């Protein structure tokens, strides 16, 4: 997730982390407080392979790892049919802030929607690189 290598459109390229029917949450420790102004999270969309965009993505920042402040929330209509196979980037731009810990949460739609060939089956959420600037 933080190795600097972006995943391709092929979810088997070993750069993606997949979560089936579960949400994603991660904390990144920058090891020291830094001035940052942007966080980018990349998610794969390949509905034919049961991989859906997250319906909600949240970025938080903290200087102590215990008390987090919400930086940005994104909401998506993740159940909407999307025939494009692509990477959806969520980009949070904000005023320079002193942050050591970054928390990312992404909500999986859990099950494939009624219109999908796998309706009711377990949906996947695939996350790649988290970039901090």
CB 55 within 8 A of CB 107: yes
pTM of the model: 0.92
Confidence of residue 4 (pLDDT cuts 50, 70, 90): low
* Predicted confidence (pLDDT) at residue 3 exceeds the cutoff of 70: no
Is position 2 within any domain? Answer: no
Cα Rg of the chain, angstroms: 15
* Predicted confidence (pLDDT) at residue 123 exceeds the cutoff of 70: yes
Closest CA to 87 of 24, 115, 133, 129: 129
Is position 52 within any domain? Answer: yes
CB 44 within 8 A of CB 51: yes
- What DSSP designation does 46 have? B
Angstrom distance (rounded) from CA 74 to CA 64: 24
Torsions phi, psi for 83 (to 5 deg): -75, -10
Query: For 47-96, what is each residue's pLDDT tens digit?
Result: 999 999 999 999 999 999 999 999 999 999 999 999 889 999 999 999 99
CB 71 within 8 A of CB 61: yes
| Adjacent-strand bridge partners of 45 | 86
Is position 58 within any domain? Answer: yes
Q: What is the CATH number of the domain that holds 28?
A: 2.60.120.260
Confidence of residue 129 (pLDDT cuts 50, 70, 90): confident
Report the DSSP pairing between strands 86-107 and 24-45: antiparallel
Is position 5 within any domain? Answer: no
Query: For 21-53, what is each residue's pLDDT tens digit?
Result: 999 999 999 999 999 999 999 999 999 999 999
**Domain extent for 99:** 17-132
- Name the more confident of 6 and 51: 51
Angstrom distance (rounded) from CA 50 to CA 110: 10
Specify the pLDDT at position 126: 96
| Count of structural domains within the chain | 1
């Amino acid at each position: 997730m933080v190795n600097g290598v972006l995943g391709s459109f092929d979810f088997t390229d070993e750069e993606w982390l997949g979560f089936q029917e579960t949400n994603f949450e991660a904390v990144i420790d920058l090891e020291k407080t830094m001035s940052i102004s942007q966080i980018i999270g990349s998610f794969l969309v390949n509905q034919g392979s049961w991989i859906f965009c997250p319906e909600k993505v949240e970025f938080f920042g903290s200087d102590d790892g215990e008390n987090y402040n919400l930086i940005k929330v994104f909401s998506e209509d993740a159940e909407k049919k999307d025939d494009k196979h692509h990477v959806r980037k969520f980009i949070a731009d904000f005023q320079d802030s002193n942050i050591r810990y970054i928390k990312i949460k992404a909500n999986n739609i859990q099950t494939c929607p009624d219109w999908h060939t796998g309706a009711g089956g377990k949906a996947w959420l695939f996350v790649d690189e988290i970039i901090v600037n």
